[in-house]
Amino acid sequence: MRKILRLSIVLIVKNGATKRGDGKWVRTRIGEVRIRIDEKTKCLLGISFEGPVDPGAAEKEGGLEASLRGYRLPEARTDFAAEVLRAVAAIPPGRTISYGELAKRVGRPGAARAVGRVMAQNAFAPVIPCHRVVPASGECGNYRWGADRKAALLRLEQETGRDAWRIL
């Protein structure tokens, strides 16, 4: 039986957000965020970033969280992915862990690359905080939306001690 990933998320389109294409748009200091949802099932389909990281961007704190209110995450595709995503969600804000250490936490010590693939396929960053997983070297590493955005998310969490998606 497949284990369901359960995270409580909440997300509104704040004042000043625009609708373009399919999805809701929220402006944040780490770029514009597009939120794709299925209104019929109230299921979140994906989150993506566009535009440059702009620390001075005008935003209302919590705009992303407010925009997610009332939607749920879909099930993970495999039991392994569900285990990895649950383990990632348990990493405290502002902390990082290596791919290898995360693999050990889910009982698969030799599966660092498989963990990396799950992170690369995460369509729900920063709600599922794959930005907290880094190479064993401790460097920032790659990120679907750019290393500068990953570094900005980590810095924001380190400065505030809060989940980045709750304060963007």
Question: Residue holding tokens 């001075």?
Answer: 56
Find, among 68, 45, 39, the residue nearest to 164 by Cα: 68
Instruction: Give phi and psi for 44, each to the nearest 5.
Output: -75, 130
Catalytic residue among 33, 111, 128, 130: 130
How far is 65 from 88, CA to CA, in rounded Å? 18
How far is 58 from 42, CA to CA, in rounded Å? 29
Q: State the DSSP H helix or E strand holding residue 47, giving kind and residue range, or none if neither.
A: strand 43-50
In the sheet that holds 43-50, the strands lie side by side as 24-28, 31-38, 43-50
Asked if 130 and 12 touch (Cβ cutoff 8 Å), the reply is no
Whether residue 140 lies in the annotated active site: no
Show which residues are catalytic: 130
